[in-house]
Amino acid sequence: MRIEIDDKTFDIMLEYEQIKKRIRLLAIQLNVDYENRIPVFIGVLNGSFIFLADLIKEVDIPSEVSFVKVSSYKGDKSTGRVKEEIGLQMSLKDRDVIIVEDIVDSGHTMEYLLNMIKKEDPASVNVCTLLLKPNSVKTKFDEITYIGFEIPDDFVVGYGLDYNGLGRNLKDIYKAV
């Protein structure tokens, strides 16, 4: 299926049913890995809100949720600079933290987030990302433990990801053509 958003054309990449199945598997892994602990899931706004909402519904261990908002994109390109718009709203000292991200591509945002969270002296920090662009990541991150899908270096929208603020509401994920 082909769609138009603003001045770009996109084709389907991942259908919602595939995404839901993968989220269930990620949640099972999280439930096992964090058994007898109470992790805090830190969603990275705006992109992760749909992914985190679906993920947390599948997690059956006690847990907390909070959000941060950072940005590094303008249009379909990373600026390379990360801007903090909403910071941490709780203490993470001695907590097990799971950063929930919609996509890790260049890694600039992830590097910023990991540095910010590690300053809080958490017990552990891991990353759960729906999408990972392994060929785009500039830095190796040992903390990226939970990956929904590895994708090529395509620009993607849908399921929380946007282009110029549009397309977040799409159930499926689409790639630019």
User: Domain residue spans in the chain?
Assistant: 2-176
| Residues paired with 66 in a beta bridge | 42
Mean pLDDT by 10 residues, the chain (177 residues): 94 98 98 98 95 98 95 61 79 97 92 94 98 92 96 96 95 97
Look at residue 83 in the predicted model and tell me its pLDDT. 74
- Give me the pLDDT at residue 82, please: 77
Backbone angles phi, psi at 87, to 5 degrees: -90, -175
| The 3-state secondary structure of 25-44, one letter per residue | HHHHHHHHHCCCCCCEEEEE
* Closest by Cα among 101, 124, 107, 112 to 55: 101
* pTM for the structure as a whole: 0.92
Return the active site residues: 105
Q: Element (H or E) spanning 78, and its range? A: strand 77-86
Domain 2-176 sits in CATH at 3.40.50.2020
Cis ω before 46 (30° cut-off from 0): yes
User: Tens digits of per-residue pLDDT, 37-69?
Assistant: 999 999 999 999 999 999 999 999 999 999 999
* Residue 142 to residue 140: CA distance in whole angstroms: 7
